[in-house]
Amino acid sequence: MRWLESLQAKLLAAVCGVALVSIGVFAWVNIRYEQAERVDLVIRGASQFSDTVKRSTHYAMLQNRWEDAFHIMDTIGKQEGVTRVRVFSKEGVILFSTDRSEVGSAVDKRAESCYACHAAERPLERLMLPDRARIFRDAEGGRLLGMITPVYNEPGCSEGCHVHPKSKRVLGVLDITLSLARVDEEIAAITRRTAAFAGTTIVLLAMILAGIVRRGVVRPVRELVEGTRRVAHGDLTHRIPVRTVDEIGVLAASFNRMTEALGKAQGELDALVATLEQRVEERTGELREAQAQLIQTEKLASLGKLSASIAHEINNPLSGILTYAKLLSRKLRMGPPDAEGVQAALQQLALVERETQRCCSIVRNLLDFARQREPSFQVVDVGSVVVEALSLLENRLAIQNVEVARELAPVPTVRADFGQLRQAFVNILMNACEAMPKGGTLRVVAREVSLPGDGGGGPLSPTGKSGPPSRFAEVAISDTGPGIPPEHLSKIFDPFFTTKEKGTGLGLSVVYGIVEKHGGKIAVDSRVGQGTTVTVCLPAAAPGIA
């Protein structure tokens, strides 16, 4: 996070902004006040100076000694700061001026020196002090203060040797112009001092506020942020130091209490999770054992269903063996056989051996099917599993006059447990046989299919996701039985659900569990009066896996 985006920067900006505006306004008001005070002092001084000039020339004017009066004015006009002194009559004619070039000329009544009296239609005869003063600039831009002082017609004037009628109230105007350069320098100095003081105050205030904000706000907030980050990463032992009793201190204390409560809750949760994991593991073990027992029970149930056909299948070779044994026994009791008899006996013994091996093979396959063992996943040829499952039911299919149509195309190998996969196909084939007690057609199709990656897009997709095509081994077993009613299709994989009088309801449930364990999918399509098709789809083994 950049510093300008930090809380410290925002607080300093807000506080310093308020301080800057406040001090700036104070400095501006102070400067304006000093300016007004200086100008007011100058105006009062100019008024007193004008009165002094008027009083100094009063006696000379009464005696009509104009030269003496003008000499006094000329001498006063040479003082420092006095720019000009002049006297003009009521009619606006300049009677005297320290600038000799304008003597005798008329003053424009719209000029700044006349505007105060002649702004109205009728000239004013009395002016207040603020109206007598005017501030303007000379040609060089310097500020000047003009002060006009009316010269009134006093009783002494009308009684003297020079005659002024009593009706003439104002005889003339004394106009004094003073330079404000010194006052402006003082104001500029005051402005500089005030600005320097304001700037220094703002800098010092900013430094003090920065320290206060850093110590009282920023550091505690950073500790809170760091504590929050550590707690978010799982460190519930972290505690924030409580340095103050203000709101931030209360927040830190509350945070510590919350963290402590979270730690206790986390400990209790961990204990519960450990207990739950242990219980789940125990239940999972029990479920595995129950599933193994269920599979074994279904095996035994399948063996019971196969017993009649297996007994019939074993009975045929045993009958042949018994016949040849009796025949050989009879021949041996008749005496030693000749060469031709020995050759015939050897042929008969070969038949006995072949039939005995056939019985052993049947019993061996039966024992292998019934044996309970731990699952062993390895690369398996699905086609060979289907062929062996068919061989176990071959005699039963023949007894029930069921015609078998095989379409076993080459399919990818799968990673599976041979015994469990064989049991799944035996259960499916057994259900198909039971659906056709009076004969029919059993169609077994094995083929390779490609489904979208992860099995997506197809009815048998293992995960229902889409992606690049993947290889699968698909086995479809169809019968021409009566079919399954639609209301039963959603329940056929439920344990103990059956519509048969002597059924256990575990056959397809066991098949479903085996197929799911192998990462595959099973689907059933059935139409009443037409038959049922059970399709098993298993993912191909990855290349290089043995």
DSSP letters for 276-322 = HHHHHHHHHHHHHHHHHHHHHHHHHHHHHHHHHHHHHHHHHHHHHHH
Task: Give how far the C-alpha of residue 496 lies from the chain's centroid of Cα atoms, to the nearest Å.
Answer: 50
Query: In whole angstroms, what is the distance from residue 347 CA to residue 344 CA?
Result: 5
With 0-12 CB in 10 A as exposed, 13-18 as middle and 19+ as buried, what is 125? exposed
Query: In whole angstroms, what is the distance from residue 492 CA to residue 490 CA?
Result: 6
* Measured CA angle at 424 (ends 420, 425), to 5 deg: 120
Q: How many residues does the chain have?
A: 546
pLDDT tens, position by position, 48-58: 887 887 777 77
**Facing residues of 377 across strands?**
417
pLDDT exceeds cutoff 50 at 8: yes
With 0-12 CB in 10 A as exposed, 13-18 as middle and 19+ as buried, what is 478? buried
Mean pLDDT in residue range 150-162: 61
Q: How confident is the model at residue 19 (pLDDT cuts 50, 70, 90)?
A: confident
Give the 3-state secondary structure of residue 527.
strand
CA max distance for the chain: 207
pLDDT exceeds cutoff 90 at 87: no
pLDDT exceeds cutoff 80 at 160: no
Query: In whole angstroms, what is the distance from residue 407 CA to residue 446 CA?
Result: 6
pLDDT exceeds cutoff 80 at 535: yes
Query: Which is higher by pLDDT, 159 or 343?
Result: 343
pLDDT mean across residues, the chain: 78
pLDDT exceeds cutoff 70 at 237: yes
Query: Which is higher by pLDDT, 434 or 7?
Result: 434
Mean pLDDT in residue range 129-158: 78
DSSP annotation of 4 reads G
Give the residue among 154, 148, 146 at the shortest CA–CA distance from 174. Answer: 148
534 φ, ψ (degrees, to nearest 5) = -110, 125
Give the residue among 9, 15, 151 at the shortest CA–CA distance from 86. Answer: 151
Mean pLDDT in residue range 378-390: 91
- What is the CATH number assigned to the segment(s) 3-186? 3.30.450.20
Q: How confident is the model at residue 89 (pLDDT cuts 50, 70, 90)?
A: confident
Q: How, if at all, do strands 521-527 and 133-137 pair? A: unpaired
**Facing residues of 148 across strands?**
175
Selection from 150-159, 314-323, 517-526 with the highest mean pLDDT: 517-526
Query: Which is higher by pLDDT, 414 or 503?
Result: 414
Q: How confident is the model at residue 93 (pLDDT cuts 50, 70, 90)?
A: confident
Query: What local confidence, expressed as pLDDT, does residue 461 receive?
Result: 44
DSSP annotation of 5 reads G
Q: Name the class of domain 377-452+468-545.
A: alpha beta
pLDDT exceeds cutoff 90 at 294: no
Query: Which is higher by pLDDT, 355 or 207?
Result: 207
Query: What local confidence, expressed as pLDDT, does residue 458 receive?
Result: 42
Q: How confident is the model at residue 543 (pLDDT cuts 50, 70, 90)?
A: confident
DSSP string, 445-473: EEEEEEESGGGTTSTT-SS----S-EEEE
Is the distance from CB of 518 to CB of 414 less than 8 angstroms?
A: yes
Give the residue among 168, 188, 124, 113 at the shortest CA–CA distance from 146. Answer: 113
Query: What local confidence, expressed as pLDDT, does residue 489 receive?
Result: 83
Output the six-digit token pair for 42.
């100058």
370 φ, ψ (degrees, to nearest 5) = -85, -15
Over pLDDT 70: what percentage of the chain?
75
pLDDT exceeds cutoff 70 at 18: yes
Query: What local confidence, expressed as pLDDT, does residue 456 receive?
Result: 43
C-alpha distances in Å from residue 369, one per residue of 213, 233, 359, 429 = 83, 55, 15, 15
Give the 3-state secondary structure of residue 116.
helix
Query: What local confidence, expressed as pLDDT, does residue 496 receive?
Result: 64
Its pTM stands at: 0.41
Query: What local confidence, expressed as pLDDT, does residue 445 receive?
Result: 95
pLDDT exceeds cutoff 90 at 479: yes
With 0-12 CB in 10 A as exposed, 13-18 as middle and 19+ as buried, what is 214? middle
Query: What local confidence, expressed as pLDDT, does residue 503 receive?
Result: 56
pLDDT tens, position by position, 365-382: 566 555 555 567 899 999
Terminal-residue alpha carbon distance, the chain: 55
Mean pLDDT in residue range 239-260: 84
Q: How confident is the model at residue 534 (pLDDT cuts 50, 70, 90)?
A: very high
pLDDT exceeds cutoff 70 at 192: yes
Mean pLDDT in residue range 240-254: 82
* Measured CA angle at 103 (ends 102, 109), to 5 deg: 70
Q: How confident is the model at residue 501 (pLDDT cuts 50, 70, 90)?
A: low
pLDDT exceeds cutoff 60 at 206: yes
Query: Which is higher by pLDDT, 214 or 320?
Result: 214
Query: In whole angstroms, what is the distance from residue 83 CA to residue 398 CA?
Result: 144
Query: In whole angstroms, what is the distance from residue 466 CA to residue 451 CA?
Result: 9
Query: What local confidence, expressed as pLDDT, does residue 545 receive?
Result: 58
